[in-house]
Amino acid sequence: MQRANDSISAALAVIGDRWSLLVLRGVFRGLHRFGELRDDLGIASNLLTTRLNRLVEQGVLEKVQYQDRPVRFEYRLTDAGRDLSPVLVSLMQWGDAHQMSGNAPTTLVHATCGAPIENVTRCTQCREDVDATAIRNTNDHQLETT
């Protein structure tokens, strides 16, 4: 990561505050209704409303009606929202390693085989795992013009 990359700023403009990420964590965990999220997070209703509206606006969550009388809505991940899974998994993995002294309070497992999952950075060609020191940044436009 040697040069500017605007994609990180753009991503953070959508989910770059602690509450938004905690709301998304809740929805990933199966909490879909306003009251469930409010009780889980201990967040003030007005703050939760702001975050949910913004996540819907940004296309990360969608508001779905689940009841007619009275009208009631719940919040579901869109495809773009589901694609945030690696961000939450990598945050959790880092928290396990560096904030919990390696004692993970919960473990994420692969549904089909039950073994723990891990978040890794990998080369698309040689398929090797790549650590931070082996990552370089290429500015595509620059390459095209040299």
What residues from 31 to 60 belong to the interface with a second copy (CB under 8 A)?
40, 59
Q: Which of residues 58-77 bind a second copy (CB under 8 A)?
A: 59, 77
Cα–Cα dist 59/16, whole Å: 15
Q: What is the CA radius of gyration of the chain?
A: 19
Binding segment toward a second copy, per CB under 8 A, in 10-18, 44-52, 62-70: 10-18
Residue 70 CB, shortest distance to a second copy, in Å, is 28
Using CA atoms, how far residue 54 sits from 29, 50, 82, in Å, is 20, 6, 16
The answer to whether 130 and 124 are in contact (CB under 8 A) is: no
With CB under 8 A as the contact rule, the residue among 67, 71, 115, 146 that binds a second copy is 115
With CB under 8 A as the contact rule, the residue among 46, 65, 67, 99 that binds a second copy is 99
